[in-house]
Amino acid sequence: MADNARVAVLGTGIMGAAMARNLIKARMEVRVWNRSREKAEPLAADGAKVADSPAEAASGADFLITMLSDADVIAEVVGEGDVLPGLAEEGVWIQMSTVGIEGNDRLAKLAEENGVTYVDAPVLGTKQPAEQGNLIVLASGPEEVREKCQPVFDAVGNRTIWLGPAGEGSRLKLVTNNWIVGLLGTLAETIAFARATGVDPARFFEAIEGGAMDVPYAHIKGNMMVEKDFPTSFPAKLARKDAGLVLNAARDSGLGMAVAEAVAARFDEAIEAGYGEEDMAAIYRAAEAARS
């Protein structure tokens, strides 16, 4: 199933809107809904139908994609009476938000209670990869719908990693998110430390460039930190949410994570200072402010 597949996208923020546009480009029939309708309306010009309710978007859809902020919001929106029961026969719910282990389990149970096939498929990437259709999809769910879902994944991403039963995608997403937020925290302190000791941060990037220590992501986010300009690719407040999901899962597994806790605290400082809506690289603001 590819051309003319009916896809409902619930959540048209930075990521969801970009994904919806790529689904339209793949010649799928896309319906969109967002709590703030004004965020969904621009997609009408791209060919999407803007729905007045989640149930209207989901009615008769072959695929339901959720790209909302957290598991509580998703459960509230999708749990409304006619959303899941309104899907087409053999419709599939592809849950692509980052919701953590407990959140995923809760949503999978909701799908089961409504007799709907559930695929856990969070993505790696932020605004630009989403716009370019270059996300990495961490897919997990029933093997029998793997082929059916692939055209959807191909429309929004350039690589799909199929991981087995539903829930494995969310677990791997937490692991990768821990690496990302940890890198950001260390990068922020590295640039602040360079400036505090009289070192031009550009020299740091020159020193690691092209070697085993180099990370392309460090140059992207590091440039924002150096320029102190944080156009939002992924908001700091959502990065903090993701860090919290990592810490929750670690505690449930009996693992202490001192570094992750420290980075989460730095995000809290940046958010409290008013940078929650700016890019997650704005964690630098907290590192910079820590200088006495």
Choice among 49, 127, 173, 221 that is catalytic: 173
Predicted pLDDT at 292: 64
The answer, yes or no, to whether residue 80 has pLDDT greater than 90, is: no
User: Average pLDDT of 49-61?
Assistant: 97
| Range(s) of the chain covered by CATH 1.10.1040.10 | 171-289
The mean predicted confidence, pLDDT, of the chain is 96
Predicted pLDDT at 28: 98
The topology (CATH level 3) of 171-289 is N-(1-d-carboxylethyl)-l-norvaline Dehydrogenase; domain 2 (1.10.1040)
Predicted pLDDT at 2: 56
| Range(s) of the chain covered by CATH 3.40.50.720 | 6-165
Residue 117 and residue 143 in contact, taking contact as beta carbons nearer than 8 Å: no
Reported as a single tens digit per residue, the pLDDT across 143-191 is: 999 999 999 999 999 999 999 999 999 999 999 999 999 999 999 999 9
184 φψ region: left (φ > 0), alpha (ψ -120 to 50), beta (else):
alpha
Q: What value, to the nearest 5°, has the Cα angle with vertex 25 and ends 121 and 122?
A: 10
Q: Of 277, 169, 233, nearest to 18 (Cα)? A: 233
Q: Is 173 one of the annotated active-site residues of the chain? A: yes
- 291: confidence class by pLDDT, cuts 50, 70, 90: confident
Q: Of 225, 126, 107, nearest to 180 (Cα)? A: 126
Classify the C-alpha dihedral 218-223-226-231 as positive or negative: negative
Reported as a single tens digit per residue, the pLDDT across 240-263 is: 999 999 999 999 999 999 999 999
**152 sits in which H/E element:** helix 146-156
Predicted pLDDT at 290: 87
Predicted pLDDT at 3: 63
Report the CATH superfamily, name and number, of domain 6-165. Answer: NAD(P)-binding Rossmann-like Domain (3.40.50.720)
